[in-house]
């Protein structure tokens, strides 16, 4: 995106509605209402300047004013940027599922700015293709290609090759796929004509599930109204601009939720989680979305757990075991109580990372879950021994021997104590 421009710092910040904001007393023009509807806590101000339907300086002024009046706050670039918002629904850091709540995380090897840019693109993937590429609807092929190349430099997964970018790996890849799709459709005259027809049709006849005009249309029309604000008062106003904005957001949330449930029914858990998360982002108060999200997240966790352990297993055979440990530990995020993985992680933390304290925690947990497993007991005993905790070591090794009297290694370890 041609983000930032001159006022880079302002452009990079991302406003969201304050949770306690009072919308009742406001008097906004439809154009301002439209801008307000674009503010979702994902889209940075630079992007809002482009998609807010108002001239850029007007956008800046509105945001400034609303921020002063307490209507908006800015998403901090510190860690759990969104924890205040979705409360019980999706803010917990403990089980951050793969495609689920993505927050700005300065620990990752992707700059906070790039994280915001990625989230902003990700939130806008349903926009018309030319908007995704940031070009005019009638841009020529050369301009389209340039935009595509520019965005590729920013969002191609190779940019983050081997970097630890956590959940952004999925975000970036998803964004890149969509950019490619946009480019492919718009750079071929045949498909482009089709896209333009669809766009024109959508502008004329709003699709069924959305009783309000589709989100893309108001762009030019309100701009005209701004210049003559007096006239507006004479006509009837079926919706206050904000009610309309929120109705639109709820409709959008509903369509995301439905897409999510469809994906869920088909077993595409990651997609389901992403869609439901978006639904919650657009309609944070809906309890149904939140409760279903718990299910979906569990499925995603299962899938991630399986993937990670599989990767870890192959790392064990191939690459260094430090990698394997990292992968097992990541897997434990998703299923903290899997005894086998805890046991393996314990052995690796002890033998490879030389970190007996960490090893002990994993081993203890494995033993808690399956107290009758002699291998786990033995490992724990040996870790205690390595840490110099002889009494504990003796207890565990004795226990291991009781469970499996034939274990000579445990016997030898016990003897050497």
Span from 91-99, 117-125, 177-185, 236-244 in contact with another protein (CB under 8 A): 177-185
How many other CB atoms are found less than 10 A from the CB of residue 416?
8
Q: Report, in Å, the least distance between residue 112 CB and another protein.
A: 16
Choice between 165 and 251, CB closer to another protein? 165
For the window 77-96, what string marks contact with another protein as x by the rule CB under 8 A? --------------------
Question: Cα–Cα distance between 380 and 398 in angstroms, integer?
Answer: 11
| φ and ψ at residue 392, rounded to 5 degrees | -60, -45
Among 161, 204, 228, 238, binds another protein (CB under 8 A): 161
Element (H, E) at 46: helix 45-51
Under rule CB under 8 A, residue 254 binds another protein: no
R_g (Cα) of the chain, nearest Å: 27
Q: Report, in Å, the least distance between residue 268 CB and another protein.
A: 8
For the window 112-151, what string marks contact with another protein as x by the rule CB under 8 A? ---------------------------------xx--x--
Span from 44-52, 93-101, 175-183, 279-287 in contact with another protein (CB under 8 A): 175-183
Choice between 76 and 314, CB closer to another protein? 314
Under rule CB under 8 A, residue 302 binds another protein: no
Site for another protein in 186-215 (CB under 8 A): 188
Please work out the total of residues on this chain that contact another protein, with binding judged by CB under 8 A.
25
Site for another protein in 257-286 (CB under 8 A): 265-268
Choice between 205 and 265, CB closer to another protein? 265
Three-state DSSP at 74 gives strand
Q: Report, in Å, the least distance between residue 156 CB and another protein.
A: 6
Under rule CB under 8 A, residue 176 binds another protein: yes
Q: Are 320 and 353 in contact (CB under 8 A)?
A: no
Choice between 162 and 231, CB closer to another protein? 162
What is the bridge-based pairing of β-strands 14-17 and 72-75?
antiparallel
**Contacts of range 160-166, beta carbons closer than 8 Å, 24 or more positions apart:** 160/109, 160/110, 163/108, 163/109, 163/110, 164/108, 164/109, 165/108, 165/109, 165/110, 166/105, 166/108
Under rule CB under 8 A, residue 157 binds another protein: yes
Among 65, 177, 197, 402, binds another protein (CB under 8 A): 177
Q: Report, in Å, the least distance between residue 221 CB and another protein.
A: 37
Among 58, 173, 295, 370, binds another protein (CB under 8 A): 173
Among 314, 336, 354, 402, binds another protein (CB under 8 A): 314
Question: Cα–Cα distance between 228 and 205 in angstroms, integer?
Answer: 27
Q: Which residues contact 73 (CB under 8 A, 6 or more apart)?
A: 15, 16, 18, 67
CA distances from 385 to 96, 380, 396 (A): 35, 9, 10
Under rule CB under 8 A, residue 159 binds another protein: yes
Q: Report, in Å, the least distance between residue 30 CB and another protein.
A: 39
Q: Report, in Å, the least distance between residue 215 CB and another protein.
A: 26
Span from 93-101, 218-226, 247-255, 312-320 in contact with another protein (CB under 8 A): 312-320
Choice between 117 and 366, CB closer to another protein? 117
Q: Which residues contact 275 (CB under 8 A, 6 or more apart)?
A: 256, 257, 259, 260, 263
Choice between 197 and 319, CB closer to another protein? 319
Q: Report, in Å, the least distance between residue 245 CB and another protein.
A: 33
How many other CB atoms are found less than 10 A from the CB of residue 378?
23
First to last CA, the chain: 64
Question: Cα–Cα distance between 305 and 337 in angstroms, integer?
Answer: 12
Residue 112: left (phi > 0), alpha (psi -120 to 50), or beta?
alpha
How many other CB atoms are found less than 10 A from the CB of residue 327?
24
Q: Report, in Å, the least distance between residue 143 CB and another protein.
A: 12
**Binding stretches for another protein (CB under 8 A):** 145-146, 149, 152-153, 156-159, 161-162, 173, 176-177, 180, 184, 188, 265-268, 314, 317-319
């Amino acid at each position: 995106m041609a983000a930032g421009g001159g006022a880079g710092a302002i452009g990079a910040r991302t406003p969201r509605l304050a949770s306690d904001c009072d919308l009742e007393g406001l008097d906004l023009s439809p154009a301002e209402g439209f801008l307000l509807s674009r503010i979702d806590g994902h889209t940075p101000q630079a992007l809002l300047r482009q998609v807010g339907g108002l001239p850029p300086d007007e956008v800046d002024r509105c945001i400034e004013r609303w921020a002063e009046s307490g209507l908006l706050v800015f998403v901090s670039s510190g860690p759990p940027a969104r924890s205040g918002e979705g409360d019980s629904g999706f803010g917990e850091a403990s089980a951050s599922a793969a495609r689920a709540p993505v927050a700005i995380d300065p620990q990752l090897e992707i700059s906070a700015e790039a994280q915001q840019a990625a989230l902003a693109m990700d939130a806008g993937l349903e926009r018309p293709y030319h908007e995704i590429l940031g070009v005019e609807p009638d841009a020529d092929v050369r301009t389209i290609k340039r935009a595509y190349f520019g965005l590729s430099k920013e969002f191609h997964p190779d940019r983050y090759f081997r970097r630890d970018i956590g959940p952004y790996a999925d975000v970036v890849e998803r964004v890149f796929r969509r950019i490619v799709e946009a480019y492919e459709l718009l750079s071929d005259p045949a498909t482009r004509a089709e896209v333009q027809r669809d766009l024109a049709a959508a502008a004329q006849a709003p699709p069924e599930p959305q009783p309000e005009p589709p989100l893309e249309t108001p762009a030019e029309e309100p701009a005209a109204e701004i210049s003559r604000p007096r006239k507006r008062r004479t006509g009837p106003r079926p919706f206050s601009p904000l009610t309309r904005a929120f109705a639109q957001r709820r409709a959008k949330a509903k369509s995301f939720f439905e897409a999510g449930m469809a994906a869920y029914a088909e077993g595409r858990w990651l997609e389901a989680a992403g869609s439901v998360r978006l639904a919650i982002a657009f309609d944070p108060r809906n309890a149904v979305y939140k409760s279903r999200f718990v299910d979906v997240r569990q499925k995603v966790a299962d899938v991630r757990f399986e993937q990670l352990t599989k990767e870890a297993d192959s790392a064990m055979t191939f690459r260094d075991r430090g990698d394997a440990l990292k992968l097992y530990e990541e897997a434990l995020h998703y299923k903290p109580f899997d005894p086998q993985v805890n046991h393996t992680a314990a052995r690796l933390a002890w033998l490879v990372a030389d970190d007996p304290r960490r090893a002990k925690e994993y081993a203890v947990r494995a033993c808690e879950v399956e107290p009758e497993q002699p291998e786990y007991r033995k490992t724990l005993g040996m870790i205690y021994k390595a840490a110099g905790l002889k009494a504990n070591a003796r207890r565990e090794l004795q226990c291991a021997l009781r469970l499996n009297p034939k274990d000579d290694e445990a016997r030898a370890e016990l003897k050497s104590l």
